[in-house]
A and B are shown apart, each in its own frame.
Chain A
């Protein structure tokens, strides 16, 4: 059985962020913020480093939620609702802050999803038996080893 890192390709950062953003938009349409963990985790399959997984998830979901908020501001009064919400806390004129906080929270969901996903991938790969008929080149093995080092 192949390891997950052997099955999924390795994307460069911009491409990875884009993929996560698209997945995040699709999953967020379900209305469940918890799915942002999944978006980040899925992104973790396409990179080999924890740090990359975190930041790609963070930025990817931030882009996704920002895009949704732009859409909502144009057609569904997102800024008005945000202003109302901040008003509940006794503040006014800071509706944009609610959206910024929301985007940051979403980004953290994506980032931590990526981090968690990467750790799960590596644990699963660790648990997998080593294939004897591996056709990987020594260079590929070396690359994987170096990229699977935890960042923190």
Chain B
């Protein structure tokens, strides 16, 4: 008997060891090695989709039919809007659940719950800025107003439907449908909530507009300590800017007496702030720098630190080849895998017929077209975010001074849960102005108060209605509907371009524009009472808007939208540097009959306008120098032969990128004040202005006893650029083709794989390629660009074109993982266009079935049943 028991004991050793081995986290494999079993693990995700499928979706009123076209894009046909959105929610989750969870956890400050404590700094940040709290308040507002406003009831209905669809998928997940990322990370997704939708919409607003520009301005201004130089080198309005709005179009103040979103408005601008009242050095420079560094480390899903980007333009029928308006949009966002976008088409007879791109997990289309209208978006870049330095009580740092009395900070206790280091507790102090964002860092030794006191206020922190605006825009039939929909866009401003089949074109820099009283808002201020602050707003009727302009076209590329000489209000902002706006304005202004092909060609346009203006001065300087250096002469010959297009098969674009840096280095020697100052260099239009206007003060190198001329400095920059190129690219200069060093390469959200890897055209061009030098790879990596390209002729809405940087499926083993990226990336030298797919737009089940019969394109079908 003892022997048998001993045998049993010994026989248990192996199974126990195996169970431990197969369940224990190993490195990134939090799910353990058991996931490599042939079934029940990673190998379940490689099955093809069935051609015909019936899926039970409890809560539907009637069957919903979904046809997937050759790109995996669903065309959803339902009898009720809620049914359609329930199906969309299911498909969002089925294709992108991991992405939805990651993005939402990031926005809610919970990403450490998935990826571990290394992301805790991001969680601290997002909790500190209060996105989840703002989302909760916004959701409550919707619930409270559901019974009194049909539009709000409509939005909540589709939100509930989306959530129900997502949760039906989560509840029905099998090993085959569970995203591989969850298996690897050993994570089980929680049910989706309506609140999650509001959290992500807050993130959308924050990511495109939020940031710490005010803090940086304070840092730069304090460090430079010369107001004239600061204003010369870091102007709010870029030189040579072409504004978006050619003619301001106001609506009736009677019709829209309030600001966007129903906030109070004042048609009269407040008196200009007294600059002298804005004292500098409110924040110790060490604390400011630490705070900026902390913010730099935060994971940002939307913001592109290297610069804004997005293009949109529209021509009226008078300028188009077809006689109908044509609308174009390409929003430039960080490139990621899976893409931020999920494309779909929803048709509910008599209610909605809309196609375009949506955010997974969010009901509705951000950009697209209906049966009568089309719209697109670009970030407007207005500064609607301020920092207020609270005066903390030296005897009690839980208090601050406001309206003549000490007032208690509200303290919000936050707890960050991590997968590897337990819980991390910290608190966020809130003043009357907003959350103190320096709660994210330890201020000890950096600040006499030793307590968070930099409060942040931005319009997105309030109750906002962006999802209501988009929902109404998705149903809009005409320009009046467009005005009514955008009335609710009270988030930080975005340019909404518009065209319809009645011949109208329009653009509105929609959003809530705070009117600041007692301060400017470009840098942190102290506001010790309620007479200083964002006390009112520009009326919606008067925000920057242009409708059917006499020039026959509209364009926007993130530049300052209005002409300060003619617009009645002054609003600051971190606008784009303006070269893309100048380029598209030139192209449209010099064309009389624009075709769809022209539009596609221009979306691929890679002419660098800054090079067009600056390079001739450099060539002239070299020629004037009479230097016989053969290597430099060869490089100058590249520039001389160049058409300024950032193509991959020539060397000039490579040289140009190094030359820009070298020019800024040589010209702006004034900013090399201290080696660790870490000041950004002035933007390229400022460089252009200094060179074109021959601004001697900045051209001169103040570190020498001599006075250098422009030609001397430009020649010196040429040598510096080439020296740097040899250092970074090697001495084989004939190999310096742009395509060898400028590649598109973007990561999966959990860095499990990549998309891309090939040479890529463009830079700060219409075909935007935001790229930064990767020392390890020895290349510029393109990290952001046209995330979605769309071209629509309003007279032929069935033949609109679109393409984005990815594929419909979040499953990296699906044929639709990156097939649309391949189309997006394929540049045709002959047509000078990138690839697009037809945005199939059949209004009824019968029409899509009939079209498929004559030319098969339907890849599979799902019938959702109650």
- CB of B498 to closest CB in A, whole Å: 43
* Residues on the B chain within 8 Å of A106, using CB: 37-38
Flag the segment in B40-48, B564-572, B707-715 that touches A.
B40-48
Assembly CA distance A113 to B648 (angstroms): 60
The listed residue (B7, B27, B41, B813) touching A122 by CB distance below 8 A is: B7
Contact across chains for A119 and B7 when beta carbons are under 8 A apart: yes
* Residues on the B chain within 8 Å of A87, using CB: 753
A residues 105-152 in Cβ contact with B at 8 Å:
105-106, 108-109, 111-113, 115-116, 118-120, 122-123, 126-127, 150, 152
* Residues on the B chain within 8 Å of A31, using CB: 37, 39-41, 44, 175
The listed residue (A85, A105, A150) touching B42 by CB distance below 8 A is: A85
Assembly CA distance A96 to B399 (angstroms): 64
* Residues on the A chain within 8 Å of B36, using CB: 82, 85, 98, 101-102, 105
Q: Mark B1-44, 1 if CB is under 8 A from A, else 0.
A: 10111011011101100110110000111000110111111111
- CB of A21 to closest CB in B, whole Å: 13
Assembly CA distance A77 to B34 (angstroms): 19
With known contacts A105-B33, A122-B4, A126-B1, A116–B12 Cβ distance under 8 A:
yes
Contact across chains for B43 and A115 when beta carbons are under 8 A apart: no
With known contacts A33-B22, A81-B813, A105-B36, A72–B43 Cβ distance under 8 A:
yes
Assembly CA distance A61 to B757 (angstroms): 41
Assembly CA distance A67 to B44 (angstroms): 15
Assembly CA distance A111 to B15 (angstroms): 9
A residues 62-103 in Cβ contact with B at 8 Å:
65, 68-69, 72, 75-78, 80-82, 84-85, 87-89, 98, 101-102
User: How extensive is the interface on chain A, given as a class?
Assistant: 35 or more
With known contacts A81-B813, A84-B813, A108-B14, A68–B39 Cβ distance under 8 A:
yes
- CB of B179 to closest CB in A, whole Å: 13
B residues 35-92 in Cβ contact with A at 8 Å:
36-48
- CB of A72 to closest CB in B, whole Å: 5
- CB of B810 to closest CB in A, whole Å: 14
B27, B43, B180: most-surrounded residue (chain A CB, <10 A): B43
Contact across chains for A102 and B14 when beta carbons are under 8 A apart: no
The listed residue (A72, A81, A116) touching B15 by CB distance below 8 A is: A116
Identity of the chain B residue whose Cβ is nearest the Cβ of A76 in the assembled complex: B46
* Residues on the A chain within 8 Å of B3, using CB: 150
Assembly CA distance A72 to B4 (angstroms): 41
* Residues on the B chain within 8 Å of A68, using CB: 38-39
Identity of the chain B residue whose Cβ is nearest the Cβ of A68 in the assembled complex: B38
Q: Mark A14-50, 1 if CB is under 8 A from B, else 0.
A: 0000000000000011111110010000000000001
Assembly CA distance A131 to B653 (angstroms): 94
B1, B15, B753, B812: most-surrounded residue (chain A CB, <10 A): B15
Identity of the chain B residue whose Cβ is nearest the Cβ of A148 in the assembled complex: B4
Contact across chains for A115 and B11 when beta carbons are under 8 A apart: yes
* Residues on the B chain within 8 Å of A126, using CB: 1, 4
- CB of B45 to closest CB in A, whole Å: 7
- CB of A31 to closest CB in B, whole Å: 3
* Residues on the A chain within 8 Å of B29, using CB: 88
Identity of the chain A residue whose Cβ is nearest the Cβ of B33 in the assembled complex: A105
With known contacts A84-B753, A122-B4, A30–B14 Cβ distance under 8 A:
no
Assembly CA distance A29 to B813 (angstroms): 21
* Residues on the B chain within 8 Å of A78, using CB: 38, 43, 46
* Residues on the A chain within 8 Å of B12, using CB: 116
With known contacts A76-B47, A78-B43, A123-B4, A37–B15 Cβ distance under 8 A:
yes
Assembly CA distance A149 to B621 (angstroms): 96
Assembly CA distance A65 to B180 (angstroms): 20
Identity of the chain B residue whose Cβ is nearest the Cβ of A126 in the assembled complex: B4
* Residues on the A chain within 8 Å of B28, using CB: 88
Contact across chains for A69 and B11 when beta carbons are under 8 A apart: no
Kindly state whether residue B752 has any CB partner on chain A within 8 Å: yes
Assembly CA distance A152 to B3 (angstroms): 12
Identity of the chain B residue whose Cβ is nearest the Cβ of A118 in the assembled complex: B11
- CB of A54 to closest CB in B, whole Å: 9
Assembly CA distance A85 to B35 (angstroms): 10
* Residues on the B chain within 8 Å of A113, using CB: 15
* Residues on the B chain within 8 Å of A29, using CB: 39
Contact across chains for A76 and B40 when beta carbons are under 8 A apart: no
* Residues on the A chain within 8 Å of B27, using CB: 89
Assembly CA distance A75 to B18 (angstroms): 29
Contact across chains for A75 and B47 when beta carbons are under 8 A apart: yes
Q: Mark B777-814, 1 if CB is under 8 A from A, else 0.
A: 00000000000000000000000000000000000110
B46, B184, B812: most-surrounded residue (chain A CB, <10 A): B46
The listed residue (B5, B21, B43, B48) touching A81 by CB distance below 8 A is: B43
Identity of the chain A residue whose Cβ is nearest the Cβ of B175 in the assembled complex: A31
- CB of B174 to closest CB in A, whole Å: 8
- CB of A148 to closest CB in B, whole Å: 9
* Residues on the B chain within 8 Å of A69, using CB: 38, 43
- CB of A24 to closest CB in B, whole Å: 10
A81, A89, A109: most-surrounded residue (chain B CB, <10 A): A81
B residues 752-783 in Cβ contact with A at 8 Å:
752-753
The listed residue (A28, A122, A150) touching B37 by CB distance below 8 A is: A28
Q: Mark B820-844, 1 if CB is under 8 A from A, else 0.
A: 0000000000000000000000000
* Residues on the B chain within 8 Å of A152, using CB: 10
- CB of A30 to closest CB in B, whole Å: 7
- CB of A130 to closest CB in B, whole Å: 13
* Residues on the A chain within 8 Å of B48, using CB: 75-76
Contact across chains for B4 and A119 when beta carbons are under 8 A apart: yes
* Residues on the B chain within 8 Å of A32, using CB: 40
Contact across chains for A111 and B44 when beta carbons are under 8 A apart: no
The listed residue (A80, A98, A105) touching B46 by CB distance below 8 A is: A80
Contact across chains for B18 and A112 when beta carbons are under 8 A apart: yes
Identity of the chain A residue whose Cβ is nearest the Cβ of B7 in the assembled complex: A119
- CB of A106 to closest CB in B, whole Å: 7
Contact across chains for B22 and A105 when beta carbons are under 8 A apart: yes
The listed residue (B4, B14, B33) touching A116 by CB distance below 8 A is: B14
Identity of the chain B residue whose Cβ is nearest the Cβ of A108 in the assembled complex: B18
* Residues on the B chain within 8 Å of A82, using CB: 36, 43
B residues 496-512 in Cβ contact with A at 8 Å:
none
Contact across chains for B38 and A72 when beta carbons are under 8 A apart: yes
* Residues on the B chain within 8 Å of A123, using CB: 4-5, 7-8
The listed residue (B5, B18, B753, B813) touching A77 by CB distance below 8 A is: B813
Contact across chains for A119 and B42 when beta carbons are under 8 A apart: no
Assembly CA distance A102 to B32 (angstroms): 12
* Residues on the B chain within 8 Å of A65, using CB: 37-38
With known contacts A101-B36, A105-B33, A84–B812 Cβ distance under 8 A:
yes
Contact across chains for A119 and B44 when beta carbons are under 8 A apart: no
* Residues on the A chain within 8 Å of B38, using CB: 28, 65, 68-69, 72, 78, 102, 106
Contact across chains for B34 and A33 when beta carbons are under 8 A apart: yes
- CB of A19 to closest CB in B, whole Å: 19
* Residues on the B chain within 8 Å of A116, using CB: 8, 11-12, 14-15
* Residues on the A chain within 8 Å of B753, using CB: 84, 87
B3, B8, B38, B752: most-surrounded residue (chain A CB, <10 A): B38
Spell out B's residues near A (CB within 8 Å). 1, 3-5, 7-8, 10-12, 14-15, 18-19, 21-22, 27-29, 33-34, 36-48, 175, 180, 184, 752-753, 812-813
- Given A88-B28, A116-B11, 20 more A-B residue pairs with CB atoms under 8 Å apart are A29-B39, A31-B39, A33-B22, A50-B11, A76-B47, A78-B38, A80-B46, A81-B43, A81-B46, A82-B36, A84-B812, A84-B813, A105-B18, A105-B33, A108-B14, A112-B15, A116-B14, A123-B5, A123-B8, A150-B7
Spell out A's residues near B (CB within 8 Å). 28-34, 37, 50, 65, 68-69, 72, 75-78, 80-82, 84-85, 87-89, 98, 101-102, 105-106, 108-109, 111-113, 115-116, 118-120, 122-123, 126-127, 150, 152
The 7 closest A-B pairs by CB, nearest first: A31-B40, A112-B14, A77-B46, A76-B46, A33-B37, A119-B11, A68-B38
Report 8 cross-chain contacts, Cβ distance below 8 Å, ordered by A residue.
A65-B38, A72-B43, A75-B48, A77-B813, A108-B18, A113-B15, A120-B11, A123-B8
